[in-house]
Structure 1
């Protein structure tokens, strides 16, 4: 039911070099540890995505959610979006954001990245069978990046306010405008659906789809805030973990009190009479099959995966922060973290290959086997490709296009700057 996304690999991390006059670069181990942690968190999200796409979401005997659904349903998507914002912060100056012409060049490169990723998503969705075996996020991802272009130059306090605004205003816009917006013809945006009804496709990507870009900007803003902080500081890493835990538990507690204990559930059944209690419970546990009902504002207090309510957004953001903070605290350059990091550094390639493999629809009869195959192949490819070739093939192509765009905006360096005299 839930479909989880992908994030492009993180660009090189900036950071002030911590050196003294007599010793080596003291920042290098910390900087490498940070890269391992961020990519490893993305690798975990990729594994979670594969699990949700392939493994069962409920036990056929008890009809209870499976462990993988409980752990990853909706949360992998949030983690990917959070890490996307973090990567945007790294590529736009880190703790010292780009200004002036450098910021313009970064924004232009981000537009190119967004268009290329969205184009890849449209192409992959075009070959997906119907019904689709997965709901891809790449087209939405392109929209995330386009909408994030004006965010790159904002200060941390403004970005923190953006987290709250998009987490609340985004779901409100979906609730109010969703019923009057045109319905998309396809669950996955394709070239055909975009050309046939551009307005419906735009509404789908921004507000009514599985990963609506406007609410998801709350995750990108949070990632940008993190990327503007000192992630080398252990105290900062501890705070990220604690804040994430408090947000996740607090959002779930608010749902438990308001909906399950204080009469909210009765309001849902009263104002949505065309749904049985079993159907309402399915939405609360597995999320909406397509769109969340808008019959009452109480639906915005529910926490089903991919419901994209304020409660869901804050809860999944908290989970993502807690995971990232924990990884920043414990990740080290050993074989386990390096494998996860290799996968996380090539998720655009791996996620695209995963979707194309799902399009063959050979995974339904033996899901456990095919899950193991997808993860094993992804891990082996990532580690070997990293060792022999570096960046993933899709990542390398997009990076080249982005760098070319930045060079065009910045202009050719002068001979003096390019070849300083000793």
Structure 2
């Protein structure tokens, strides 16, 4: 995707002699930029490099792992968009079982990781550096949001929900939390995961779900800005306020010492524990303490038994019906309930941690995914354009064709260029805003932050 649908740092020396942003070995070096602004490295082109390389000249394996995780998220979203929700037997299809609700969440989690890397890794931004990173994020949000709003005119909502406008709002929401400590970020992620779904449920009382939710467009934003912002923040497919939990969790990961195998193993174990705990508590509430029966009795007043079964099988479109709070006890895909957020954060942590660990051992198997993951904004947009073409197949053939196109493009393009095409645009514009602040002048001209 996304951007969707890059790395840590500071004072203690990194294992294996690796220098990370903020280390004594790299103080004064320019902080790494976000995923949409990668610098070239010697292995997977387009993967951001840390000042200094390993003794054999290879790049940081954990960087390949992070980009590979982005590649996993991209492929997962492509699979969900191409395959139907159910198979011939009426059961949830394999693609949806594996990726539905998890891939987009992984993108959002990795957005937080990338923002942490861009803003200094373990060395949190303060003072003018915070202002510079804030300016960069604001411009980045504007550009990514604009791309998403334009795609909204092309991509039918029944084919795919465009994540980029929601992603842009997440970037804006990241500005005030850039300087928070890791412990505070973890606490904030937990608080948001519980409080925002409850707030959303209360605010949506008396409303009806819209399915599919129309993809946001510039016209819709201009015609009814309050409705559009409400959709982006609370009621859409990827509601930014509840999804702040992913962003904060990702920022916390990005502030961690990812050069430490122990730290990465802890991240994986926390992810496993969180996912298992979320599913277990949800099961207890619904199937042991009678929540499912109460949920069904209320839900069947507004939907048929078949619709109810389909909702439980295939998941929601961003939020659950507001007719009973028992919906909040579910872990339905794309439901943005406390247990859905906790479960998908856990799964995301496992994917990120495993990719980093594999990348420490070998980078060869991760190379195609990492190449794609280094330019997810470009490839996610390309995927949506291919998906929307009436002349191209869907289903398994469509997925295979699109996967081949995006991976081939990534490998070929990254051999000659440090960034993807859209990533280059974002880097130039946001970099101009950052440099303007760092140089102590008001941003102006091309690539600068527009005046308020």
- TM-score, normalising length from structure 1? 0.89
**Deviation of residue 12 (structure 1)?**
9.3
Residue 21 of structure 2 corresponds to residue 15 of structure 1 = yes
Is 1:300 the counterpart of 2:328? The answer is yes
Find the partner of 2:243 among 204, 216, 219: 216
Alignment of 1:217-366 (within 5 A): 217-272=244-299, 273-288=301-316, 291-331=319-359, 332=361, 334-363=363-392, 366=394
Change (3 A) 1:363 1:246: farther
2:446 corresponding residue in structure 1: none
Q: Measure how far apart 1:278 and its partner are.
A: 3.0
In structure 2, C-alpha distance between the alignment counterparts of 1:213 and 1:183, rounded to whole Å: 17
Task: Quickly say closer, same or farther: Cα 1:33–1:9, change in 2 above 3 A.
Answer: farther
Q: In 2, are the aligned partners of 1:8 and 1:346 still within 8 Å (CA)?
A: no
Number of paired residues?
403
State how far apart, in whole Å, the 2-side matches of 1:382 and 1:314 are: 32
2:355 aligned counterpart, secondary structure: helix
1:57-72 alignment runs, 5 A limit? 57-60=85-88, 62-72=89-99
RMSD: 2.5
Equivalent pair of 2:85/2:93 in contact (CA under 8 Å): yes
Which residue number corresponds to residue 416 of structure 1?
none
Residue 393 (structure 1) aligned with residue 421 (structure 2): yes
Distance 1:299 1:285, change over 3 A: same
How far is 1:390 from its partner? 1.7
For residues 104 and 9 of structure 1, what CA distance do their matches in structure 2 show?
A: 25
Task: Give, in whole Å, the separation in 2 of the partners of 1:221 and 1:289.
Answer: 22
Deviation at residue 213 of structure 1 after TM alignment: 0.2
- Paired with 1:28 and 1:221, the residues of 2 have a C-alpha distance of 35
Q: Distance in 2 between matches of 1:52 and 1:178?
A: 27
Does residue 193 (structure 1) correspond to residue 193 (structure 2)? The answer is: no
Shift in CA distance, 338/318, structure 1 to aligned 2, threshold 3 Å: same
Give me the whole-angstrom Cα distance separating, in 2, the residues matched to 1:25 and 1:145: 30
Structure-2-length-normalised TM-score: 0.84
More helix per residue: 1 or 2? 1
CA contact (8 A) 1:86 1:227 kept: yes
Question: In the TM superposition, what is the alpha-carbon distance from 1:11 to its structure 2 partner?
Answer: 7.5
Q: Which of 165, 171, 177 is the matching residue for 1:139?
A: 165
> How far did residue 65 of structure 1 move?
0.8
Aligned to 2:31: none
Alpha-carbon contact 2:318-2:335 (below 8 Å) kept = no
Query: Distance between the aligned counterparts of 1:363 and 1:96, measured in 2?
Result: 47
Which runs of 5 or more structure 2 residues have no equivalent in the other structure? 10-19, 26-51, 442-452
Quote the Cα distance in structure 2 between the aligned partners of 1:67 and 1:79: 18
After TM superposition, give the deviation of residue 409 of structure 1 in Å.
0.7
1:168 maps to which residue? 194
Q: Deviation at 1:218?
A: 0.3
Superposed CA offset, 1:352-383 (max 9, x none): 0111112223456x521111110001011001
Give the Cα separation in 2 of the matches to 1:182 and 1:285. Answer: 20
Verify the 8 A CA contact 1:10 1:345 in the aligned structure 2: no
Distance 1:99 1:29, change over 3 A: farther
